[in-house]
A and B are shown apart, each in its own frame.
Chain A
Amino acid sequence: MAIARGAGTEILCGAHFEDIDATTQVLIFGVQHHIYTVLNLIVYGKTVQAAGNFIEAEVRGYDSKEGTTAQGCIIFHQAMNVNETYVWNDKFSFNGTEPTDFGGPLDDTTKQDAIADQASSVAQKLQMNTEHASDGFEVHVSFIDQNNA
């Protein structure tokens, strides 16, 4: 039987990606009323077009300062060399979809609850890209998916 991942479940997930380059790659795609906790991101520089080329990971989602949809909120920006591995090992969470749009900035509990309620249909994502089209990074992401649907 496949793992149960319906409403009320909390499951451990892992996904693997080869040859990530300058084209943005979604690592986790949000679903409404889910909460994702990123456990770690392991990034290996298999091909680095030029020493020191950066890798960048971000949450793509709602900016609670300006009240703007689909903004990139950078988690890290790291220079890399070939055959190096970078491990992001600090847990953080994000919601599956954005809140109903509110006028920023976040300054009251109604807006704060809107974030928790995820009433928008716009998915939030964890995504990554590198500096150059000829880079090739191998990426492993581990996360917890809480399904509150």
Chain B
Amino acid sequence: MAIARGAGTEILRAHHFEDIDSTNQILIVGVQHHIYTVLSVIIHGKAVQAAGNVIELAIVGYDSKEGTTAQECTFLQQAMNANETFVWNDKIVFNGFEPTNFSGPLDDATKQNAIADQGSSVAQLLRMATEHASDGYEVNVTFIDQNNA
């Protein structure tokens, strides 16, 4: 039997990607009423077009300052060389969907609860890209998926 991933479950998940380059690659796609806890992202520079080319990790989702949908919120930009491995090992949480739109900035409990309620239909994402089209990074992402649907 496959792992139970229905409402009320909390499961460990892992995805693997080869040859990520400057084209945005989604690492995790959000689902409404899920909460994702990223445990680690391991990034190995198999091919780096030029020493020092950067990798970037971002949450694509709701900006609670301006009240704007589908914004890229970067949390890592790291210069890399060939054969290096970078380990992102600090837990970060994001919701599966955006809140029902509110006028930013976040400044009261109603708006804060809207974020938790995930009332929009717009998925939030964990996403990665590199600096150059000829880069090639191997990526392993490990995360917990809490399904509160």
Contacts and interface: CB of A to CB of B under 8 A. Distances in A.
Nearest to B125: A107
Interface string A46-70: 0000000010001101111110100
Contacts of B11: 116
B83 A64 contact: no
A141 interface: no
Contact of A93 (B12, B17, B26, B31): B12
Contacts of A74: 44, 46, 85, 138
Contact of B14 (A33, A92, A148): A92
Interface residues of B, number: 36
Contacts of A108: 29
Contacts of A105: 25-26
Interface in A130-149: 146, 148-149
Given A105-B26, A109-B29, A119-B2, A76 B14 contact: no
A146 to B, nearest CB: 7
A21 B27 CA distance: 33
A83 to B, nearest CB: 22
B18 interface: yes
Interface in B1-43: 1-5, 11-20, 25-29, 31, 39-40, 42
A109 B39 CA distance: 19
Interface string B117-129: 0000001000000
B18 A73 contact: yes
Contacts of B26: 105-107
B49 interface: no
A107 B60 CA distance: 13
A75 B42 contact: yes
B12 A35 contact: yes
A112 interface: yes
10 contacts: A35-B14, A37-B12, A63-B19, A65-B18, A68-B18, A74-B44, A90-B87, A106-B25, A108-B29, A148-B1
